Amino acid sequence: MFINYRLKAKRQMAIFATLGFAGFALCVMSGLAMAEIPHQDFAFWAMLGVGFVGFFTVFWSIFVFFWTTLGVIFNYIDYKALS
C-alpha cells in the first residue's frame, strides 16, 4: 500500500497550526468579551469558561502549545525533505 508521506506531513502541519490558533483565538475573544460584560451577568461567567477551554487547549498538560509549535516545525521539515 502506498502512503503519501508528503501529504501526511502537510495535513499534520495544518492540524497542529489550527489547534494552536484555535486555542489562542478562544483566549483572546473571551478576554475581549469579558472586558465588555459586567461580572454579574451569566455571559461573563460563560466567557470565563470559554477562556479556560482556550487556555487548556493552548497550555494543556506540559505546555501543548510548545509541542504544537514543534509539530508544525517538524512536519514542515518532513514536507520539505520529501520534496
Per-residue model confidence as pLDDT tens digits over 20-56: 788 889 889 999 999 999 989 999 999 999 999 888 8
Alpha helices by DSSP H, listed for 1-83, are 5-36, 42-58, 60-81
Whether residue 61 is predicted with pLDDT greater than 60 in this model: the reply is no
Q: Which of 1-10, 12-21, 48-57 has the lowest average pLDDT?
A: 1-10
Residue 51: Cβ within 10 Å count: 18
Q: Which pTM was predicted?
A: 0.63
